[in-house]
Amino acid sequence: MPKIIKNGQVVDDNWQVWRDAETLPSTDHVIVPLALWQQQRDALLALGEIAVYLASDESPKSLSDDDLSALSFVAVDFPKFMDGRGFSYARELREQRQYQGEIRAVGDFIRDQLFYMKRCGFSSYALPSDELEAALASLNDFSESYQPGVDQPLPLFRRRQA
Amino acid sequence: MYAYDQYDRQIISQRVAQYRDQTERYLAGKITEEQFLPLRLQNGLYVQRLAPMLRIAVPYGTLNSQQLRKLAFITREYDKGYAHISTRQNVQLNWPKLEEVPDILEHLAEVEMHSIQTSGNCIRNVTADQFSGVAADEVEDARPWCEIIRQWSTFHPEFAFLPRKFKIAVCGSEQDRAAVLVHDIGLQIVKDESGNTAFKVIVGGGLGRTPVIGSVIHEALPPRHLLSYLEAIVRVYNQLGRRDNKFKARIKILVRAMGADAFKAKVEEEWAFIKDGNLDLPDEEIARAQSFFTRPDYEALENEDLQALALENVDFARWLNHNVHAHKQRGYAIATLSLKTTGVAPGDITAEQFEAVADLAEEFGFGEIRSTHQQNLVLPDIQQRQLFALWQKLVSLELASPTVGTMNDIICCPGGDFCSLANAKSIPIAEAIQRRFDDLDYLYDLGDIELNISGCMNACGHHHIGNIGILGVDKKGQEFYQVSLGGQQGLNASLGKILGPSFAQDEIPDVVEKILNCYLEKRHPEERFIDTYERIGLAPFKERVYA
Ligand code: HEM
Ligand code: SF4
Q: What is the per-residue pLDDT for B88?
A: 84
Residues B278 and B316 in one domain: no
CB neighbours of B94 closer than 8 A, spacing ≥ 6? B48, B50, B51, B53, B79, B80, B82, B83, B84, B414, B418
**Mean pLDDT throughout B316-322?**
95
Residue B296 in any domain: the answer is: no
Closest C-alpha residue for ligand 1 atom 30: B86
How would you classify the pairing of strands B478-485 and B468-475? antiparallel
Neighbour-count burial of B21, counting CB atoms closer than 10 A to its CB (0-12 exposed, 13-18 middle, 19+ buried): middle
Residue B419 in any domain: the answer is: yes
Domain end (from B370, B396, B422): B396
Q: Is the pLDDT of residue B51 over 80?
A: no
Q: What is the per-residue pLDDT for B398?
A: 95
Q: Is there a contact between A120 and B7 if contact means CB atoms under 8 Å apart?
A: no
**Mean pLDDT throughout B270-299?**
94
Tell me how far apart the alpha carbons of residues B59 and B143 are, in angstroms, rounded to a whole number.
Answer: 9
Residues B252 and B346 in one domain: no
B248 CA: distance to closest CA in chain A (Å): 15
Residues B374 and B442 in one domain: no
Q: What is the per-residue pLDDT for B50?
A: 65
Which residue on chain A is closest to B159 by alpha carbon? A84
Q: Which ligand 1 atom sits nearest the alpha carbon of residue B347? A: 30
Residues B420 and B523 in one domain: yes
Q: Is B243 on the interface with A (CB under 8 A)?
A: yes
Query: Which of B15, B39, B158, B244 should we substitute to test contact with A (largest number of A Cβ atoms within 10 Å)?
Result: B158
Residues B469 and B505 in one domain: yes
Q: What is the per-residue pLDDT for B66?
A: 98
A26 vs B177: which has the higher pLDDT: A26
Q: Which residues line ligand 2 (CB under 6 A)?
A: B 413-415, 419, 421-422, 454-456, 458-461
Q: Is B15 on the interface with A (CB under 8 A)?
A: yes
B510 CA: distance to closest CA in chain A (Å): 46
Tell me how far apart the alpha carbons of residues B342 and B52 are, in angstroms, rounded to a whole number.
Answer: 26
- Chain B window 84-123: which residues touch A at a Cβ cutoff of 8 Å? 121
Domain CATH number, residue B43 = 3.90.480.20
**Mean pLDDT throughout B472-490?**
92
Tell me how far apart the alpha carbons of residues B351 and B68 are, in angstroms, rounded to a whole number.
Answer: 9
The alpha-helical segments, DSSP class H, found in B123-222 are: 143-153
Which residue on chain A is closest to B37 by alpha carbon? A82
Residues from chain A contacting residue B278 (CB–CB below 8 Å): 148, 153-155, 158
**Mean pLDDT throughout A132-156?**
96
**Mean pLDDT throughout B246-260?**
95
Q: Is there a contact between B154 and A146 if contact means CB atoms under 8 Å apart?
A: yes
Ligand 1 pocket residue status of B53, Cβ below 6 Å: yes
Residue B92 in any domain: the answer is: yes
**Percentage of residues in chain B with pLDDT exceeding 90?**
84
Tell me how far apart the alpha carbons of residues B177 and B12 are, in angstroms, rounded to a whole number.
Answer: 29
Phi, psi of B243 (to 5 degrees): -120, 5
A144 CA: distance to closest CA in chain B (Å): 7
Tell me how far apart the alpha carbons of residues A130 and A3 are, in angstroms, rounded to a whole number.
Answer: 9
Nearest to B533 by CA among B510, B509, B516: B516
Residue B130 in any domain: the answer is: no
Residues B341 and B211 in one domain: no
Closest partner CB to B278 (pick from A82, A113, A158): A158
Neighbour-count burial of A61, counting CB atoms closer than 10 A to its CB (0-12 exposed, 13-18 middle, 19+ buried): exposed
**Percentage of residues in chain B with pLDDT exceeding 70?**
99
Q: How far from B422 is each of B55, B348, B474, B479, B504, CA to CA, in Å?
A: 18, 19, 9, 10, 16
Q: What is the per-residue pLDDT for B283?
A: 94
Residue B170: CA atoms inside 13 Å, Cβ hemisphere, count?
29
Q: What is the per-residue pLDDT for B158?
A: 98
Residues B284 and B205 in one domain: yes
Count of A–B CB contacts within 8 Å?
Answer: 102
Q: What is the per-residue pLDDT for B208?
A: 84
Closest partner CB to A144 (pick from B10, B278, B279): B10
Alpha carbon dihedral B357, B360, B361, B364, in 10-degree steps, equals: -160
Under DSSP, the state recorded for B138 is: B
Q: Is there a contact between A148 and B278 if contact means CB atoms under 8 Å apart?
A: yes
Span from the CA of B504 to the centroid of ligand 2 (angstroms)? 18
Residues A137-148: tens digit of each pLDDT? 999 999 999 999
Residues B364 and B451 in one domain: no
Tell me how far apart the alpha carbons of residues B73 and A43 are, in angstroms, rounded to a whole number.
Answer: 68
Domain CATH number, residue B508 = 3.30.413.10
Residues B295-306: tens digit of each pLDDT? 899 999 999 888
Please give the tally of structural domains in chain B: 4
Domain end (from B338, B368, B396): B396
Neighbour-count burial of B402, counting CB atoms closer than 10 A to its CB (0-12 exposed, 13-18 middle, 19+ buried): buried
Residue B127 in any domain: the answer is: no
Q: Is B341 on the interface with A (CB under 8 A)?
A: no
Residues from chain B contacting residue A84 (CB–CB below 8 Å): 121, 158-162, 238
Residues B163 and B256 in one domain: yes
CB neighbours of B506 closer than 8 A, spacing ≥ 6? B432
Residue B404 in any domain: the answer is: no
Ligand 1 pocket residue status of B414, Cβ below 6 Å: yes
CA B343 to chain centre: 22
Residues B220-236: tens digit of each pLDDT? 999 999 999 999 999 99
Nearest to B429 by CA among B515, B508, B338: B508
Tell me how far apart the alpha carbons of residues B36 and B24 are, in angstroms, rounded to a whole number.
Answer: 11
Span from the CA of B460 to the centroid of ligand 1 (angstroms)? 4
Q: What is the per-residue pLDDT for B207?
A: 86
Residue B180 in any domain: the answer is: yes
Range with the poorest average pLDDT among B49-53, B210-214, B508-512: B49-53
Residue B402 in any domain: the answer is: no
**Mean pLDDT throughout B179-183?**
90
CA angle B129-B162-B48, nearest 5°? 75
CB neighbours of B141 closer than 8 A, spacing ≥ 6? B132, B133, B172, B290, B293
Chain A residues with CB-CB distance to B under 8 A? 56, 59, 81-85, 87-88, 91, 95-96, 110, 112-113, 115-117, 119-120, 131, 141-149, 153-158, 160, 162
Alpha carbon dihedral A39, A44, A49, A51, in 10-degree steps, equals: -30
List the domain range (segments joined by +) for residue B81: 6-110
Q: How far from B523 is each of B182, B446, B484, B489, B540, CA to CA, in Å?
A: 28, 10, 19, 21, 12
Residues from chain B contacting residue A113 (CB–CB below 8 Å): 160-161
Which residue on chain B is closest to A108 by alpha carbon? B35
Domain end (from B255, B289, B323): B289
CATH no. of A3-158? 3.20.20
Residues B345 and B425 in one domain: no
**Mean pLDDT throughout B62-89?**
95
Tell me how far apart the alpha carbons of residues B57 and B91 are, in angstroms, rounded to a whole number.
Answer: 7
Pair B203, B255: CB distance under 8 Å: yes
- Confidence tier at A162 by pLDDT (50, 70, 90): low
Domain boundaries, chain A: 3-158
Residues from chain B contacting residue A79 (CB–CB below 8 Å): none
Residues B154 and B64 in one domain: no
Residues B255 and B318 in one domain: no
Q: Which ligand 2 atom sits nearest the alpha carbon of residue B459? A: 1
Mean pLDDT of chain B: 94
Q: Partners of A5 in the beta sheet?
A: A10, A125
Nearest to B368 by CA among B56, B61, B9, B127: B61
